[in-house]
Structure 1
Amino acid sequence: MKHIAPLLAALASAALIGCTASAGDTPSADGPIRIAPFITRVSGPNFDPGDCIGLTVELPGSRYADNAPLTYDGKVFSSPDLIWYNDLHETSTLYAYYPYQAEATPDRFTVRTDQRNAADYGASDLLAAVREAVTPAETAIDMRFDHLLSRLVVHIDNRSSAAAERVLIAGTVGTAAVDIATQHAAADATAPTVEIIARETDSGKTFDAILVPQTVKLTVVLLTSDGKRHEKTLDEARELRQGSRYTLDVIATDIDIALSLGGEIGDWDDGGSLDPAEEPAGEIRHGDATYRTHTFPDGTTWMAENLRYLPAGTTPSENPATQAGVWFPCSSDLQPAQDEETIRTQGYLYDLTTAAGGVTLTDETIALLEGVQGICPDGWHLPTQNDLERLVVLLEDEPDLADTFLTRTGIRTASGSYSGQHVGGAFSKGYLLGSSPCTGSVNGTAKFSYLCIQPDGTMTTVDYLPEAGVPVRCVHD
């Protein structure tokens, strides 16, 4: 997008079971070093189980571990062969990078020239993380992984009589000189230029490529189904900064192509607009509504309001007993609330199929739902369990925000009724839909994680059945 705990008595009819770790998951202080990542790589909403990072641990005057491989288990990176050092008062600096290279921590990194395959596209993404003043701990060490390369998204406006089949990016240096310790990457002046085949993400319309940061006159080649090769070079050299995403608009006719390179959009994990000139900071327009957004200190950006977007062909139902996909919010007396103010403050209630964009839930599609865009705006996605758990940590660091960020609401249970705990005529709990499947099922139906804010402000992730109706907020990619 893969990718803490009392259970709600009011939701017992939905047969919820919490996604929690067993007590045996917590190591002693002299147990294995565990790394909890909280940024995503380009190929999906999170690291995938089996992914491997390289970790270096430096003590003052010595190196405790050098390029040790740690494997992701779906929650943390670890290795049974890498145990904490004994001195609990000795601080160290941790350097980590992805993807792992067995020979050594890389000082040069080359992107794949053919990025059409998801694996090759993902393997072209270089990330690094640094954490200072670390001491041995029972809990996993949070490390933020930053993208060190550049990303180019190519949008095709095809006005020709032939289909767009392939996009090539030519004239760029394909190898970067890298310093993981300083999280820096730049084009290696001694390396040759390459021609990169971009990955097709929307048939004939959108293509994506990972490039080495550099200043370059980009050359774009569009191959069409009639066998023609349309090629054009930008008039001016442009700087592609590390960790930033750029858009390139291509207008194709039967005769030629025209290029327009958009400005830097910002770090991939940062908030912001796909068109900064039209969308003010702290807001995003989606459908007929504008939503406030909040960017946390680590760069994560969330919608600060519940979604009230209606996909084409849908209307909200006032009957929770009907599996309509989207329902009016419920009032404090558990009745459908159709007034404009309640809808604005609480948003609609969505089941997972509707939130995910109308995807039919099957054994094959369930695994693909984590972190999908669904009914979110372009460049945003449904929260994963990692997103929800990270939000809890972020809100703990901003206690003044925590009381106002989440909206307390009721929900529509999977059994077909409104449910919600309220005190003094107002709801005392809040919820946010998540898209990560959880282990286990109810009557053969997979469960998914969502966030619950308790009356005392405690936030936990618990399981829900996909038929339930839950408020939605989106997270910036």
Structure 2
Amino acid sequence: MLFSNRIVGHAVLLFALACMGSCSKTFAEYARVTIVPTFETRVSALDFDRGDRIGLTIVRGSESYAENVAMTYDGTAFADGPLWYAERQEPSTLTAYYPYSDAGAPSEFTVAADQRTGCSSSDLLGAVARDVLPGEAPVNMVFRHLLSQLTVFVNVPAGEAVSGVALSGFSPTARVDFGSMEVSAVAVTGVREVLACEVQPGLAYRAVLVPQQADLTVTVSMADGSVYRETVASVELESRKQYTLSVDVADERLNLSLKGSIQDWEDGGSIVGDVVKPGEPGTPGDPGDKEDGTLDYDGVKYRTATVAGRVWMAENLRCVPQGAAVGSGIWYPKEGADAVTSKGLLYDRATALGSANAGSAPVRGICPAGWHIPDREELLSLAGADCEAGFFVDSGCWIVMGSNDRYGSYSYLMSSALSAADGQMECLRVSAASGAGSLVSVSAAYGVSVRCVKD
């Protein structure tokens, strides 16, 4: 009996010790740091791509708790962070950057000299979250662009073709302070050239540059071997802002017009600079939607119209996001590339909204800042409104199994709403004959015209 009691007592002791080992676990022993990123857009997409990596540093008080921990985006969040510490009432500061480097957050960062295959590796992002308490809830971190983006739109005479665009005169290296999220250019000697990425064949080129004030030289190379070059004096590019440069190749020279940000990154004012050529100053311009019923977006001017109390684009969108390609998620109208100016482009839902699983309205998608893809109610308001003559002309020539066999009978405009049927989206269909409109379900994989509506 005594032997039996000893066995029972020993078993109870073992159970108690086991319980102490398991029941005393705090959340910090299984709760990992999870980061949900937020920003307007990246240089190459509307969000982080699955597999992208950031570097995370956590400072607890005055001591480093985690240093340059690599975290990978899973399509929704960065969820593979370090374990939280147990003291739940002690705040910390989280600093993250992209793209990740084994060497840690860079104190100096140099943009790629050859960006022809893409700008992503030069798109330096940073985020800081202060007074963060350990917990199981994810931490929202706002990632900000630290450099500048310049998009060059080239207009050439008929029959001529552009082979490349280069930008020079700016230092390619920035000194970076992730604590304050500020950058400054590092002085360099000699001419440094950046080859821009082609984002629309022969029409639009893009590069990420270090924010600074300097003379900017633009070189446009033509397919026939000719080269055009002009310089804009004292151009100032600011951190986190996007700028556009319109280039007209005429009379064997370049005519340049620079503007401030009109989309994606934070708004920047007009660039004040003079083109360095005798008696012909540069023409700064104000971006955005104008009072005269037009909208400047991605180097294209669209007509706008007020319908049912809302401001709409009166032309079909024809923007190709960075990283996208015509023929995959975006299509030309039936007549081909020559008809894009009048008919716009056709988009599947994932491309237009930035994700096949985009959330509830309003969804900006590929629309300019301050505008969004219309929801079903906004589209229905068009159907019941007295639209201007020709408002729906050339809208929504959608693709069915790779062919445009519904072309011309109806106009189609995309909404942000999914329909009840699996894989279907709701679109407004307007009869070309009667003008009557209604909502219909269309495959989310088909190409449909997009009209953005102002927020």
TM norm structure 1:
0.58
The residue that corresponds to 2:434 in the other structure is none
Question: Shift of residue 448 of structure 1?
Answer: 7.4
Question: Shift of residue 88 of structure 1?
Answer: 1.3
1:276 aligns with 2:287: yes
Provide Cα deviations, 1:76-111, integer angstroms capped at 9, x if missing partner: 01326x111111111111111110111111111111
Q: Secondary structure at the match of 1:217?
A: strand
In 2, Cα distance between equivalents of 1:87 and 1:473: 52
Provide Cα deviations, 1:330-371, integer angstroms capped at 9, x if missing partner: xxxxxxxxxxxxxxxxxxxxxxx9x966799xxxxxxx9576
The residue that corresponds to 1:57 in the other structure is 58
1:388 aligns with 2:359: yes
Alignment of 1:225-240 (within 5 A): 225-234=223-232, 236-240=233-237
Residue identity opposite 2:54 in structure 1: I
With over 3 angstroms needed to count, the CA separation of the structure-2 counterparts of 1:173 and 1:449, relative to structure 1, is farther
| 2:201 alignment partner, one of 200, 203, 206 | 203
- Give aligned-pair identity as a percent: 35
The residue that corresponds to 1:95 in the other structure is 95
With over 3 angstroms needed to count, the CA separation of the structure-2 counterparts of 1:387 and 1:226, relative to structure 1, is same
Question: Shift of residue 233 of structure 1?
Answer: 1.0
Question: Shift of residue 148 of structure 1?
Answer: 0.6
Q: Secondary structure at the match of 2:80?
A: strand
Which of 130-139 and 70-79 deviates more? 130-139
Question: Shift of residue 188 of structure 1?
Answer: 1.0
Q: Secondary structure at the match of 1:123?
A: helix
Provide Cα deviations, 1:358-387, integer angstroms capped at 9, x if missing partner: 799xxxxxxx957635xxxxxxxx354686
Provide Cα deviations, 1:190-248, integer angstroms capped at 9, x if missing partner: 576420110111111111111000101100111101111211111x2011101111111
With over 3 angstroms needed to count, the CA separation of the structure-2 counterparts of 1:270 and 1:220, relative to structure 1, is closer
Native 8 Å contact 1:110 1:174 kept in 2: yes
| 1:433 alignment partner, one of 416, 436, 446 | 416
With over 3 angstroms needed to count, the CA separation of the structure-2 counterparts of 1:167 and 1:35, relative to structure 1, is same
In 1, Cα distance between equivalents of 2:237 and 2:100: 24
Native 8 Å contact 2:219 2:230 kept in 1: yes
In 2, Cα distance between equivalents of 1:229 and 1:266: 30
Alignment of 1:134-153 (within 5 A): 134-153=132-151
With over 3 angstroms needed to count, the CA separation of the structure-2 counterparts of 1:266 and 1:225, relative to structure 1, is closer
Residue-pair matches, total: 328
Gaps of 5+ in 1: 1-26, 293-303, 313-352, 361-367, 374-381, 393-404, 412-430, 436-441, 451-462
In 2, Cα distance between equivalents of 1:471 and 1:33: 41
In 2, Cα distance between equivalents of 1:66 and 1:89: 21
In 2, Cα distance between equivalents of 1:258 and 1:469: 36
In 1, Cα distance between equivalents of 2:57 and 2:361: 24
Question: Shift of residue 466 of structure 1?
Answer: 2.2
Native 8 Å contact 1:174 1:212 kept in 2: yes
| 1:163 alignment partner, one of 155, 161, 164 | 161
In 2, Cα distance between equivalents of 1:160 and 1:96: 48
The residue that corresponds to 1:347 in the other structure is none
Native 8 Å contact 2:303 2:313 kept in 1: no
| 2:254 alignment partner, one of 239, 254, 257 | 257
The residue that corresponds to 2:351 in the other structure is 372
Alignment of 1:434-473 (within 5 A): 446=423, 466=444
Q: Secondary structure at the match of 1:232?
A: strand
Q: CA RMSD in A?
A: 4.4
The residue that corresponds to 2:70 in the other structure is 69
Question: Shift of residue 263 of structure 1?
Answer: 3.5
The residue that corresponds to 1:337 in the other structure is none
TM norm structure 2:
0.61
Question: Shift of residue 276 of structure 1?
Answer: 3.2
Q: Secondary structure at the match of 2:89?
A: coil
Native 8 Å contact 1:306 1:407 kept in 2: no
Q: Secondary structure at the match of 1:89?
A: coil
In 2, Cα distance between equivalents of 1:390 and 1:189: 46
Residue identity opposite 2:359 in structure 1: L
With over 3 angstroms needed to count, the CA separation of the structure-2 counterparts of 1:308 and 1:224, relative to structure 1, is closer
Residue identity opposite 1:243 in structure 2: R
In 1, Cα distance between equivalents of 2:90 and 2:159: 67
Q: Secondary structure at the match of 1:106?
A: coil
Q: Secondary structure at the match of 1:177?
A: strand
Residue identity opposite 1:388 in structure 2: G
Q: Which has the higher contact order (CA 8 A, sep 6+)?
A: 1
Q: Secondary structure at the match of 1:372?
A: helix
| 1:241 alignment partner, one of 238, 241, 244 | 238
With over 3 angstroms needed to count, the CA separation of the structure-2 counterparts of 1:240 and 1:290, relative to structure 1, is farther
Structure with the greater alpha carbon radius of gyration: 2
The residue that corresponds to 2:111 in the other structure is 111
| 2:210 alignment partner, one of 209, 212, 217 | 212
Native 8 Å contact 2:304 2:312 kept in 1: no
The residue that corresponds to 1:41 in the other structure is 42
